[in-house]
Amino acid sequence: MQITGTAQRSTSRSWLALLCCLSATLSLGAVSASDAHAGAWTLVSCTQPNGQPAPTDGWSTSSTGSVGPDSGDSNTCAQGGNLSAVTSGEAPQHPYEGPDWVFTAPAGSMIAGGTVTAALTSPHGQAWLGTPNPIYDSADVLANCQYNTGCGQAGTLSGAFPVAHPGGTNLYAIAVCVGPYEGATTCPASGGLDAGVYVSAADIELSNPATPAASGLGGMLLSSNSRGTQDLTFAATDSGGPGVYAITVQIDSATVYSGTPDTNGGSCSTLGKSNGELMFDHSQPCKQSESVDLPINTAAVADGQHTLKVTIEDAAQNRSVVYDGTITTQNAPTKVSSLGALPGPGTSTGISLATGTPNGTGANEAALLRLGMRRTITRTYAHRALRIPGRLLDSQGQPISGASLDVIQQVIGASQTQVIAHVRTHVDGSFIAHVPAGPSRLIEVAYRAFTADSTYSAQAKVQESVGAGIELTVSPRRTISTGTILLTGQVDGPVPRQGVVVHLLVHYRGQWEPFRTPRTDAAGRFDVAYQFQGAFGRFPFRAEVPGSQADFLFARGVSEVVDVATN
């Protein structure tokens, strides 16, 4: 037979002039999956390689035209079934009508190959697998079962069909009635099925050239004379790609860390490899952006200068070297002549001699403190007390339980530090430090491996910015157009003896306009009289305390808005 026409899939999902029939001798064996190459990965759908159910991310369904009451689609993959599309029981009003399943590649990715395992049957209509391009041709067809033509025994066609015509973004599984078209009327069946397609598995090879990147590299590992286990922090991104899969850290070409920092709830855990490509069961397996905090153990590295190389690999095995520089390590014990004063946050210290009682089960000089919050936070005056969650781990990543940690603060502008709280770790090394309310400050959680140590073995810091608290009262709230109002207020918290400056603003003609700048007394109080000049309407007022004032320990703060009406 000859192909008698061409077809194009419109945006309305109707089928236009597909083809009357396909050759029963259409060869599927000549099409093979693409060879594995860098920048590619395999999405597993419906059934995993081990036979267990898999998700069906990327697949969607719809129906074209008017279909019969027994027609439709279903997804039973989670129960070990398939994606099915069946048409039955109604004569078509247009050339091609029926349900379909469509796989759409993630944004930025293309279909590069793979296989679709399916069964097709067609007593009267057409069951079809394909990767249509804007212009339909035979290379698009994975499998076609039409009027029993090419359907094998019992009117079915089944197998693992190689994906043809790679380079597109869609893959279709379609069951349609074919007619009325050029004299062909194939539906409805005289009771029963017209056409059906059943996809039980799909291994779809996807290509994506996006390369990962990093920014903001930092952490104590990059500081001078790092020791023990120190953190390496940065933001990893794979914009437009399948996401950050693995990070490798090498010191002098020896791998000291290799792993997946965030499994994205399990989606970023590989199912193995297929032709050298990683396999996943989610269409966007890994996070495209994540904050990375890696514990790097330098205990086995000789003291001195070393090369550090950091590589990021995405799920498509695109790789980027994001850091290639030097670090210095100092792991030899430093003799301590006396206990000395309590070191403040940011103090650089060597390892202390292990003296006194071990602090916690698994006490370790090379311990690592991880905090479960951002390193820089902003709080309001009313909510300035906070809780800091975290974990204490040894150099092998195992929890240190029953350890006592100090919570230290260094108030903004001050040179001294003070211990303001203590917290003890749980059996899994976790803790929640309850930090009392305070001004803008640097907060540090610190750990001594042994009770008589003169220095901390591990430290983690949070910079807290606290907005000033300010209250505003206006009286009266309603007056005449030339009336006088009194604005009184209170700035909360420690106020310096000279007071602080306050800006009073009124919202007028679409913007906030300052009209007075009083200074509070030593108790933070102020009052200002203001007379209207014939204005009518509603006028919102507010007070604002600028930040960075001498001897004032808070950032910018704003009062609630108070409305005044004139008539």
Per-residue confidence in pLDDT tens, the chain, 567 aa: 222 222 323 322 233 223 222 222 222 222 223 333 569 999 999 999 888 899 999 999 876 544 555 678 889 998 899 999 888 765 555 555 678 889 999 988 999 999 999 999 887 778 888 886 544 455 578 888 876 666 766 678 889 999 877 778 888 888 877 655 444 445 655 556 778 899 999 999 999 999 999 998 888 888 877 777 778 889 999 998 999 999 999 999 999 888 888 888 889 989 988 888 999 999 999 999 988 888 788 877 888 999 999 999 999 999 999 999 999 988 765 443 333 333 343 333 434 445 578 999 999 888 999 998 888 898 899 888 899 999 999 988 899 999 999 999 998 877 788 899 899 999 999 999 999 999 999 999 999 999 888 889 999 999 999 999 999 999 999 999 999 999 999 999 889 999 999 999 998 777 888 899 999 999 999 999 999 888 888 999 999 999 878 889 999 999 999 999 998
Asked whether residue 176 falls in the same domain as residue 46, the answer is yes
Asked whether residue 87 falls in the same domain as residue 225, the answer is no
The encoded tokens of residue 365 equal 């000089």
Boundary residue ending a domain (466, 499, 533): 466
Asked whether residue 67 falls in the same domain as residue 163, the answer is yes
**Residue 83 and residue 211: Cα distance in Å, rounded?**
33
Boundary residue ending a domain (414, 446, 466): 466
Asked whether residue 303 falls in the same domain as residue 402, the answer is no
Q: What CATH number has the domain bearing residue 97?
A: 2.60.120.430
Asked whether residue 97 falls in the same domain as residue 23, the answer is yes
Asked whether residue 13 falls in the same domain as residue 149, the answer is yes
pLDDT of 133: 57
Asked whether residue 128 falls in the same domain as residue 184, the answer is yes
pLDDT of 190: 55
Q: Quick check: is 276 in a domain?
A: no
Q: What CATH number has the domain bearing residue 404?
A: 2.60.40.10
pLDDT of 468: 93
Asked whether residue 234 falls in the same domain as residue 201, the answer is no
Contact between 394 and 420 under an 8 Å Cβ cutoff? The reply is no
**DSSP characters over 120-135:** EE-SSSEEEEE---SS
pLDDT of 64: 53
Asked whether residue 199 falls in the same domain as residue 219, the answer is no
475-491 pLDDT tens trace: 999 999 999 999 999 99
Q: Quick check: is 533 in a domain?
A: yes
Asked whether residue 185 falls in the same domain as residue 99, the answer is yes
**Residue 445 belongs to what domain range?**
368-466
Q: Quick check: is 251 in a domain?
A: yes
The encoded tokens of residue 234 equal 């940065």
Boundary residue ending a domain (154, 187, 207): 207
pLDDT of 182: 46
Q: Quick check: is 104 in a domain?
A: yes
Asked whether residue 114 falls in the same domain as residue 183, the answer is yes
Sheet holding 386-393, edge to edge: 368-371, 386-393, 430-435
Q: What size, in residues, is the chain?
A: 567
* Domain count of the fold of the chain: 4
Contact between 545 and 520 under an 8 Å Cβ cutoff? The reply is no
pLDDT of 293: 82
* Residues 6+ positions from 210 with CB-CB distance below 8 Å: 108, 238, 239, 240, 241, 314, 316, 318
pLDDT of 191: 56
Q: Quick check: is 25 in a domain?
A: yes
pLDDT of 178: 60
CB atoms closer than 10 angstroms to residue 479 = 16
Asked whether residue 53 falls in the same domain as residue 157, the answer is yes
Q: Quick check: is 30 in a domain?
A: yes
Q: Quick check: is 353 in a domain?
A: no
**Residue 110 and residue 284: Cα distance in Å, rounded?**
13
Q: Quick check: is 556 in a domain?
A: yes
pLDDT of 94: 52
